[in-house]
Amino acid sequence: MKQFIITAFGEDRPGIVAKVTEILYKNGLNIEDSAMTRLNDEFVIMLVVKGDTEKSSLENDLKSLEKEGINFTVKEVPLSKEKEKEDYQLYNIIVYGSDKPGIVYNVSKLLAEKSINIADLRTEKTKDLYVMFIQAEIPNSLDITELEKEVESLKDNLNVDISLQCVDTANL
């Protein structure tokens, strides 16, 4: 059993997902995880797939997409395993304000310094309003009040709003 990370993108239009996944299906690959979205005018696909196919034959089949303007990369990666992780609490971090260079860099730098893992990050921009959504795994050992103070000063420096929300799940 092999595992691959596949990326593919092309000018957005109907049929891109179907074209790419048809090849995966015919190669007997199962999609384990995926993010597929439109980024401005391009449609971008990122996949983790698993199966018994050889990388070379998969690449060969995917090459047929190039003439349709879909570019791709394939990389074989070790099979996923359950990792022991420090206990963490999930937070949604929402950053919004007028767009300027360095928002993603400065916010992610602060998180990295605090050993906070980013599980998901998306940004949207309309005219001058910039919004970033981060799903962050904050170690339970971290002092949240201290983090909130640093977020406050980052807000002032970047002149954006940052909201930090604890994601509280209720098991019903």
Q: Which two tokens stand for residue 138?
A: 């904050």
| Exposure class string for 98-116: b at 16+ Cβ within 10 A, else e | eeeeebeeebbebbeebeb
Report in angstroms how near the CB of residue 83 gets to another protein at its nearest. 9
Q: What order of strands is seen across the sheet that includes strand 88-98?
A: 117-126, 129-139, 88-98, 161-166
Report in angstroms how near the CB of residue 168 gets to another protein at its nearest. 7
Nearer to another protein, 1 or 172 (CB): 172
Phi/psi of residue 80, each to 5°? Answer: -65, 140
- What lies within 8 Å, CB to CB, of 29 at 6+ separation is 4, 49, 50, 51, 53, 58
Report in angstroms how near the CB of residue 169 gets to another protein at its nearest. 5
Nearer to another protein, 79 or 170 (CB): 170
Nearer to another protein, 85 or 127 (CB): 85
Nearer to another protein, 98 or 165 (CB): 165
How many angstroms separate the first and last alpha carbons of the chain?
37
Query: What residue ranges bind another protein (CB under 8 A)?
Result: 82, 85, 122, 167-172
Q: Which two tokens stand for residue 110?
A: 């602060």
CA 89 – CA 18 distance, rounded (Å): 37
Report in angstroms how near the CB of residue 143 gets to another protein at its nearest. 21
Report in angstroms how near the CB of residue 60 gets to another protein at its nearest. 32
Nearer to another protein, 80 or 98 (CB): 80
